[in-house]
Structure 1
Amino acid sequence: MTQLIQISINCQHENNICQECIARHIEHELQDKGNIEIRCPDEKCRSVLTEDYVKKLSSETIFERYQKLSLVSALSQIDDFYWCLNPNCDSGQIHYEGDAAPIMTCQSCSKKTCVMHSLPIPDGSLSCPQCANITETFDNEPREPTTSQRTNPQSSNKTLKQIQQRKLRQTIAIDNSQKRQDLQKEKNRQMEEKSKAYIDSMTKKCPKCNANIEKNEGCDHMMCRAPRCGYEFCWLCFADYDAIRINGNKYHNPTCKYYA
C-alpha cells in the first residue's frame, strides 16, 4: 500500500500525497518551469517547501538542479551583477561601471561582454559592434556650424562632441527601451506557450461526466469536483477507485504502472 507523507513542516493538512508523486511534482517545477519556489501541490495549502524538504523528497540530481537555480536567482538579484555571455562559460561578476564603461572582461574565461546591449564581444575587438555602429552614424552625420563655431574651431569641436555624446546617450536609451520591450514580448510569448502545454498535460476529461479536470495535486488518485459528480478514478488509466479500494490494484488497467 502506498504510504502518504508530510510534504513540508508548514503543511497543516493531513498527509495526502505519496513520496513518488511529490518527487515528480518537484522535478516538474524545476525541469519544466524553472521554478525554485516549489509549493505544496494541495490546492488549499500551497506552502513553500524549504530546502531541506526538497533535498529529502527529491533525487540527488534534481536537488543539484534546485541548488544551481537558487544560486542563479540569488546572484541575478544583485545590483551591477552581470553574466558572462560566452556560451562556454557559466560565470558572472560585479561590474560597477555599468553603461558608463559597458565592456566587461570575464574574470573566469577572459571573454568580453557589452553589459549595455547584452552582447558578447568578438575576439580581437575592443568595443561592442552596436555601440560602434551608433557612434559611426553620428560621426558621419553632416552638421552646419554656428557663427561662434566658425570663429572658434576649438569651441566648435568641443560643442560638437557634446552634441554627439548627448545624442548617443539618447539613442542608446531608446534602443535599450525597445530591446527591453522586445524581450518582454518574447518572454510573454514563451510563457503563453508553456502555460498552454502545461494545461494540455494537466487536463483530462472525467470518465463519468466528461467535465474537464485539471490535476492540481500530486497524486494520481483523482476526484471530479463537478456538481453532482464526485467520481474517483486513476489519473493514468481512468480505473474506478471504488473498485480499486475494495479489490486492490489489480483493478487498474494492465498497462498502468499501479497495476499489480
Structure 2
Amino acid sequence: MAGIVKIECLVNHCNFLMEYEVMKRVSSKYLIERYEYLSCREAIRQIPDFRWCHNQNCGSGQEHLGKDISPIMICIACGQMNCFTHDAIWHDGRTCTEYEAEKNTIVGATRDTIERETKTCPGCGIRIYKYGE
C-alpha cells in the first residue's frame, strides 16, 4: 500500500514526500491505520469498473463487469440496486436514457432559476440572491 497516497512534510515550504516507513515511525497507531484505510479505498477507487454502494448505511462496493450494457448493480452486502452508468441509486421505472433526459431537464430548469433569481456580485463575480432589481 505504500506510495498510493502521497503525503508531504508538514513543515512550511518543504515538499519532501514522506515514505511509509518514515510515517510509521513518527505517527500514532490511529493515524497509520487511518492512512492505510484511506490508501486502500483510493486504490480501489482507481479500478474503472468498481462502484461504491449508494445505500448510506452500507459502505460496501463491488466491481461490475456488465458496465453500461447491463447497468443495474445489486450490492452483494445489502441488496441495494445501483446504476453503474450514473453511479447513483437505481432510477426505478426509468431507463438510463429516460433518467438522463430528466436529469438534463432539471439541470436546465435549475440554471434558468439561478439566472432569474440571482445576479452576479460586482466584487467577486459569484452569483448571489437578488432582493430587488
Do these two structures clear the TM 0.5 threshold for a shared fold by scoring above it? yes
Which residue of 1 is the match for residue 100 of structure 2? 172
Other structure's SS at 2:39 match: helix
Q: Which amino acid aligns with 1:40?
A: C
The structure 2 residue matched to 1:47, chosen from 4, 11, 16, is 16
Which residue of 2 is the match for residue 105 of structure 1? 74
Q: Which amino acid aligns with 1:41?
A: L
Q: Which amino acid aligns with 2:68?
A: D
Larger Rg: 1
Which residue of 2 is the match for residue 71 of structure 1? 40
Provide the C-alpha distance between the structure 2 equivalents of 1:173 and 1:45, rounded to a whole number of angstroms: 49
The structure 2 residue matched to 1:62, chosen from 31, 36, 41, is 31
- Unmatched segments (≥5 aa) in structure 2: 108-133
Other structure's SS at 1:113 match: strand
Inter-CA distance 120–52: structure 2 relative to 1 (3 Å threshold): same
Percent identity over the alignment is: 34
Compute the TM-score of the two structures, normalised by the length of structure 1. Answer: 0.34
The structure 1 residue matched to 2:84, chosen from 115, 119, 129, is 115
Contact 2:67 2:84 (C-alpha < 8 Å) held by counterparts: yes
Contact 2:7 2:18 (C-alpha < 8 Å) held by counterparts: yes
Q: How far is 1:54 from its partner?
A: 1.7
Provide the C-alpha distance between the structure 1 equivalents of 2:11 and 2:23, rounded to a whole number of angstroms: 16
Contact 2:51 2:87 (C-alpha < 8 Å) held by counterparts: no
Aligned residue pairs: how many? 102
Q: How far is 1:73 from its partner?
A: 0.6
Other structure's SS at 1:100 match: coil
CA-to-aligned-CA distance 1:93-140 (integer Å, 9 cap, x gap): 11122222111111222222112223224xxxxxx23x61x68xxxxx
Q: Which amino acid aligns with 1:97?
A: G
Give the 4+ runs in structure 1 shifted more than 6 A. Answer: none
Q: How far is 1:174 from its partner?
A: 9.6
List aligned pairs for 1:14-163, cutoff 5 A.
Answer: 36-121=5-90, 128-129=91-92, 132=94
CA-to-aligned-CA distance 1:194-236 (integer Å, 9 cap, x gap): xxxxxxxxxxxxxxxxxxxxxxxxxxxxxxxxxxxxxxxxxxx
Inter-CA distance 173–93: structure 2 relative to 1 (3 Å threshold): farther
- Unmatched segments (≥5 aa) in structure 1: 1-35, 122-127, 136-167, 180-260
What RMSD in Å do the two structures reach over aligned CA positions?
2.9
Compute the TM-score of the two structures, normalised by the length of structure 2. Answer: 0.62
| Structure holding more strand per residue | 2
Q: How far is 1:68 from its partner?
A: 0.9
